[in-house]
């Protein structure tokens, strides 16, 4: 069982993603803003983070940069889940340290597959 | 009764009614908050049911007290989902009676209700609502018309293309909203879009040209070439941009001819935007046969010459990429090496300098 942190200010999306991942046997931690996500990353030691970009207090991108700057957290893989679909946004996301990028509208099933693939890659 | 007595009575009435009024207002506010809290609670209770229903849509009944809450959750979730989960959620709403209600809601007297219904039906991709939504493109409320057009785009039925273009022609819906809807419908509407390129309406021709380019409808190239001499300025430019986006080399000779013609017309009738669009499109297509006319454009106004320099630079950069050249680290080297190699030394240096200047924010003020 992996620990997955989901941070999105949209409660319906959080509920949906956590429902899908919990059904697959993961332990899910939910936050609704960037500061909460960063704090949870420090206290909960997640194996993977699913981050929205546009969040109150700290954006997902700022959280990515803060994670990269902290040697204890830099190893945690991050999937950005966002409605920002421009090429430049995707580049910015990866430059900030995201390991994967999923554009909304999205398929929760595909997200779950990517989470699995990412976790498998990290565990090897 | 003296004036003083009347004043005292008025004061007494006021002192009695004011507290009553405040108490009523307070009660109404509390009651509204209580209802809102109860509804939020209901949404919280319904949310897990909706999530569970995404995996097994037939196992859960969301009609009754959970119905309205499920509709709120679905309206928020549907635009963010794709694939099987979106379909399951839409099925759930159909079975729960929410989508049939929304289809009825399209005929409501209240504009807000019509708009909410159109949004939900669009988000659910409900094809059964397409005909009703097409009628709403003539709604008396402008916001409702825009929402209906967006909903038709989300539903993606190619039969919606003619009513959308008709609403555009009659200025019932904005060009931007119609373009976005047509893009969402995608290549399924290719046939109708190609016909629309020959429409009597310049607004329709322009939007159809833009959309065919964005969708990559290569079959439209000959018609787009015809539109290069359209009487309408916006249509001409849309056609040029579409050809550039499509990147079909066979369009190059026509674009070159149009640019050559623009470069020799008297200055009063010269169309700067059109000429720049032609230059940019030739750069996007990237055929070598365009190099002489692009070089010729370098000798014109700053706007034309910088567009030509960018076009030549883009052609060079693309070819450099094709040849798997090493990436270059200095801006100057990138600039000079990105210029096509068949140019004469002098022109090549000139282009490199113009490219460098056009990348400087105040490049045209340096002289």
Question: At A93, is the pLDDT very low, low, confident or very high (cuts 50, 70, 90)?
Answer: very high
d(CA A32, CA A40) in angstroms, rounded, equals 11
d(CA B214, CA A79) in angstroms, rounded, equals 29
Q: In sequence order, what are the beta bridge partners of A103?
A: A82
Query: Which among A12, A19, A110 is the nearest to B76, CB-wise?
Result: A12
> Which pLDDT value is given to residue A35?
93
What's the pLDDT tens digit per position in A10-31? 888 898 899 889 988 999 999 9
Beta-carbon contacts of residue B180 (< 8 Å; ≥ 6 apart): B150, B153
Q: What is the DSSP string of B49-102?
A: HHHHHHH-TTS----TTHHHHHHHHHHHHGGGB-THHHHHHHHHHHHTTHHHHH
d(CA B256, CA B195) in angstroms, rounded, equals 26
d(CA B14, CA B24) in angstroms, rounded, equals 15
Query: Using beta carbons and an 8 Å cutoff, which residues of A are at the interface with B?
Result: 10-13, 15-16, 19-20, 23, 83, 104-110
Determine contact, residues A68/A96, Cβ cutoff 8 Å.
Answer: yes
> Which pLDDT value is given to residue A31?
94
Q: How confident is the prediction for chain A on average, in pLDDT? A: 91
d(CA B115, CA B100) in angstroms, rounded, equals 15
Q: What is the pTM of this model?
A: 0.71
> Which pLDDT value is given to residue B200?
94
Distance from CA of B78 to the nearest CA of A (A): 8
Positions of chain B with pLDDT under 70: 1, 56-64, 266-268, 322-367
**Residue B123 vs residues B93, B149, B155: alpha-carbon distances, Å:** 11, 12, 8
From the list B320, B298, B325, the residue with the least C-alpha distance to B311 is B298
> Which pLDDT value is given to residue B63?
66
Q: In sequence order, what are the beta bridge partners of A48?
A: A4
Determine contact, residues B319/B340, Cβ cutoff 8 Å.
Answer: yes
Q: What is the three-class DSSP state of B283?
A: helix
From the list B206, B211, B294, the residue with the least C-alpha distance to B252 is B294
> Which pLDDT value is given to residue B210?
93
From the list B188, A24, B223, B108, the residue with the least C-alpha distance to B209 is B223
> Which pLDDT value is given to residue B121?
93
Structure token pair of residue B165? 């273009």
> Which pLDDT value is given to residue B47?
81
Determine contact, residues A39/A14, Cβ cutoff 8 Å.
Answer: no
B51 in contact with chain A, both atoms CB, cutoff 8 A: yes
> Which pLDDT value is given to residue B364?
36
> Which pLDDT value is given to residue B15?
87
State which H helix or E strand residue A79 sits in. Answer: strand A78-82
Determine contact, residues A116/A77, Cβ cutoff 8 Å.
Answer: no
Q: What is the DSSP letter of B326?
A: P
**Residue A83 vs residues A36, A44, B149: alpha-carbon distances, Å:** 21, 27, 21
Structure token pair of residue B72? 């709120």
Q: Which residues of B touch A107 (CB under 8 A)?
A: 81-86
Best B80, B86, B122 member to test A by mutation, with max A CBs in 10 Å, is B80
B299 in contact with chain A, both atoms CB, cutoff 8 A: no
Distance from CA of B52 to the nearest CA of A (A): 8
Q: Taking CB atoms and an 8 Å limit, are B77 and A13 in contact across chains?
A: yes
Q: How many CB atoms lie within 10 A of CB B69?
A: 21
Q: Taking CB atoms and an 8 Å limit, are A107 and B76 in contact across chains?
A: no
Mean pLDDT of A88-114: 92
> Which pLDDT value is given to residue B62?
65
What is the end-to-end Cα distance of chain A in Å, rounded? 15
Q: In sequence order, what are the beta bridge partners of A28?
A: A4
Q: Which residues of A touch B73 (CB under 8 A)?
A: 12
d(CA B95, CA A75) in angstroms, rounded, equals 46
User: Which residue is it, tokens 């931690």?
Assistant: A29
Determine contact, residues B123/B79, Cβ cutoff 8 Å.
Answer: yes
d(CA A44, CA A62) in angstroms, rounded, equals 19
Query: Which among A15, A83, A110 is the nearest to B47, CB-wise?
Result: A15
Query: Which among B51, B76, B81 is the nearest to A105, CB-wise?
Result: B81
């Amino acid at each position: 069982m992996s620990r997955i942190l989901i941070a999105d200010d949209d409660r319906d999306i959080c509920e949906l993603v956590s429902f899908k991942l919990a059904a697959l046997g993961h332990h899910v931690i939910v936050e609704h803003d960037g500061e909460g996500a960063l704090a949870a990353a420090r206290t909960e030691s997640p194996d993977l983070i699913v981050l929205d970009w546009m969040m109150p207090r700290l954006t997902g991108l700022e959280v990515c940069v803060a994670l990269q700057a902290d040697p204890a957290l830099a190893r945690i893989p991050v999937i950005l889940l966002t409605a920002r679909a421009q090429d430049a946004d995707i580049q910015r996301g990866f430059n900030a340290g995201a390991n994967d990028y999923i554009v909304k509208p999205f398929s929760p099933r595909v997200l779950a597959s990517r989470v699995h693939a990412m976790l498998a890659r990290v565990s090897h | 009764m003296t004036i003083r007595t009347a004043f005292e009575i008025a004061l007494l009435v006021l002192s009695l009614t004011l507290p009553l009024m405040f108490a009523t207002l307070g009660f109404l506010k509390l009651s509204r908050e209580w209802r809102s809290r109860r509804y939020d609670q209901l949404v919280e209770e319904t949310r897990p049911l909706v999530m569970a229903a995404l995996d097994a849509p037939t196992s859960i009944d969301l009609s009754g007290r959970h119905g309205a809450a499920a509709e709120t959750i679905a309206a928020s979730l549907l635009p963010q989902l794709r694939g099987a989960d979106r379909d399951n959620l839409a099925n759930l709403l159909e079975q729960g009676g929410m989508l049939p209600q929304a289809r009825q809601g399209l005929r409501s007297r209240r504009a807000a209700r019509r708009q909410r219904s159109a949004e939900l039906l669009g988000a659910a991709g409900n094809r059964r609502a397409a005909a009703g939504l097409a009628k709403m493109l003539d709604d008396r409320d402008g916001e409702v018309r825009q929402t209906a057009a967006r909903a038709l785009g989300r539903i993606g039925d190619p039969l919606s293309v003619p009513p959308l273009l008709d609403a555009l022609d009659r200025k019932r819906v904005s060009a931007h909203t119609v373009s976005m809807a047509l893009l969402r419908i995608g290549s399924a509407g290719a046939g109708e879009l190609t016909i629309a390129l020959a429409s009597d309406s310049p607004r329709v021709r322009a939007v159809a040209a833009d959309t065919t380019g964005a969708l990559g409808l290569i079959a439209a190239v000959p018609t787009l070439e015809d539109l290069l001499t359209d009487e309408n300025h916006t249509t001409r430019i849309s056609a040029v941009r579409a050809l550039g986006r499509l990147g079909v080399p066979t369009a190059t000779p026509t674009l070159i001819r149009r640019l050559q013609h623009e470069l020799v017309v008297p200055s009063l009738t010269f169309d700067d935007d059109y000429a720049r669009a032609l230059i940019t499109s030739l750069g996007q297509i990237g055929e070598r046969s365009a190099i002489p006319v692009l070089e010729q454009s370098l000798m014109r106004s700053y706007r034309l010459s910088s567009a030509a320099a960018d076009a030549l630079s883009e052609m060079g950069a693309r070819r450099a990429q094709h040849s798997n050249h090493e990436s270059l680290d200095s801006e100057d080297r990138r600039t000079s090496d990105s210029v096509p190699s068949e140019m004469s030394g002098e022109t090549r240096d000139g282009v490199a300098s113009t490219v460098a200047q056009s990348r400087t924010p105040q490049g045209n003020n340096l002289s």
